[in-house]
Amino acid sequence: MKSLNEDIKTGSFKQVYLLFGEEEYLKNQYKNRLHRAILSEDDTMNFSSFEGKGVDVRQIIDQAETLPFFADHRMILIEQSGFFKNASPELAEYIPQIPAETILVFVEKDVDKRGKLYKAVQKKGRAVELGRQDEKTLQAWVLGMLKKEKRTITRDALTLFLEKSGNDMENIANELEKLLTYTHGKDAVEYADVEEICTVTTESRVFDMIRAVAEKKQKQALDLYYDLLSLKEPPMRILFLIARQFNQMMQVKDLRERGYGASEIASKAGIAPFIVKKSLAQSAQFEMDELYRAVKDCVEAEEAVKTGRLGDCLAVEMVIVKYSQ
């Protein structure tokens, strides 16, 4: 990100940028910052955008070959094209030949770093991965936004806020806006304010549900499940998150047993450090083979729903009951 920030600050741009990774908030922020830095706000003549997997490569190339109109640059934005997962040889071959005045900006979630297009972008421009941020970064970011508003927050309130809002920066920004509105007129945000106004994410509720399962608190686990259903959360999404949580516990438990510390586990598993700490605590309640069976049972439950052998609500409930007994 440092090089990308430097490009934006100095106005010395590469001819192609790839913004990819899980953190949608950062991708949108940098996409918009690049747009504002490359073109003036009212310049629509020199801006083209393409989105989705049906994008025609020839149209992109045609636009790229068009000279800018009374401007230094022409910017072409391509979002969620799938070009970096599915081979796009024509585009990979074109990247080295981009006219000096043209700047391509790709925004993707998934990329294949072994592909020719990715390597072509790396050679000609910048490929910037924008993944989930760690706990310290998120804390600093929240404190920075509060400082801009001339507000402070107590340490326990900040911890609770991030526990409730998760590590999705878009959600954090939305929850912080709610919190600032709710505490208007107060200098310091307190624990009670966060408790009162901030919404627990689905992921956090599932985390609490798995904790209840691990502690064999079956009624609490089922109550949390029914709460999610009452909030119109699809049972199959809940099942996916349960499976992901069990799989995550299996990962961190395996790495811990192999002698890795929490920060190394976070790096190797691609999980935020504060989530690693929680997952380690939860995984201690399970044997490794039990976690493996739980993941397998989630897969089998999904199959049972898809084949019509079980209803979706019942399939998820059976998994919760089995591992909270």
- From the list 65, 59, 69, the residue with the least C-alpha distance to 39 is 69
State what percent of residues in the chain have pLDDT above 90: 60
Which CATH number covers residue 289? 1.20.272.10
Is residue 226 domain-shared with residue 309, that is, in the same domain? Answer: yes
pLDDT, one tens digit per residue, over 267-318 is 888 776 767 888 888 888 889 999 999 999 999 999 999 999 999 999 999 9
Interior/surface letters 26-50, b for 16+ CB within 10 angstroms, e for the rest? bbbbbbeebbeebbeeebeebbbeb
Rounded Cα distance between 317 and 235, Å, is 9
Buried-exposed string 279-302: b where 16+ CB fall within 10 A, e elsewhere: bbebbebbeeeebeebbebbeebb
Predicted pLDDT at 216: 86
The per-residue pLDDT for 209 is 84
Average pLDDT over residues 133-149: 91
C-alpha to C-alpha distance for 199 and 184, rounded to whole angstroms: 18
Q: State the residue range of the domain holding 173.
A: 135-197
Please tell me whether residues 178 and 141 are part of one structural domain: yes
CB atoms within 10 A of CB 271: 19
Distance, in Å, from the CA atom of 247 to the CA atom of 212, rounded to the nearest integer, reads 17
Assessment of whether the complete model's pTM goes beyond 0.75 = no
The answer to which of 32-46, 140-154, 189-203, 306-320 has the lowest mean pLDDT is 189-203
**Which of 129, 162, 183 is at the close of a domain?**
129
User: Are 296 and 279 part of one and the same domain?
Assistant: yes
Residue 155 sits in a domain whose CATH number is 1.10.8.60
Residues 88, 176 within the same domain: no
Looking at the structure, do residues 10 and 125 belong to the same domain, yes or no?
yes
Consecutive H or E run containing 289: helix 288-306
Q: How many domains does the chain have?
A: 3
